[in-house]
Amino acid sequence: MELIDLRGTDRDWMPALGELFFDVIDGGGSLGFLEDIDEAQMREYWEGVFDQLGPRHRLWVCRDGDRALGTVQLSLCGKPNGRHRAEVQKLMVHRDARRRGVAAQL
């Protein structure tokens, strides 16, 4: 397992992230999407995430080769009085990778 910090140019990870996304939803994960989400909606979601990546929005993937075992997003507060705050978003771990320390590593 290796943890990588993705950039906006790392869109080649979208297929692996899509597979992870569908696995989590199929397993009953609550990500703010209905079970009938399709490939186009999933791709639109990840495009939006990649478009936001930068100093205040981060995306990490725990990988095994080219397979995404898990992912998490971090949104840092940009307000002058909130630079000590951040919001953890969309922590996902593939059902096959659970109980192996993926979430703890993320």
Spell out, as residue ranges, where the chain has pLDDT lower than 70: 33-35
Q: How many domains does the chain have?
A: 1
What's the count of helices (H) and strands (E) in the chain, helices before strands?
Answer: 3, 4
Q: What is the CATH number of the domain that holds 60?
A: 3.40.630.30
- Per-residue pLDDT tens over the stretch 54-67: 999 999 999 999 99
Return the H-helix or E-strand segment holding 1. none
How much is the pTM? 0.88
Q: Are 45 and 25 in contact (CB under 8 A)?
A: no
Which residue range is the domain that position 47 belongs to? 2-105
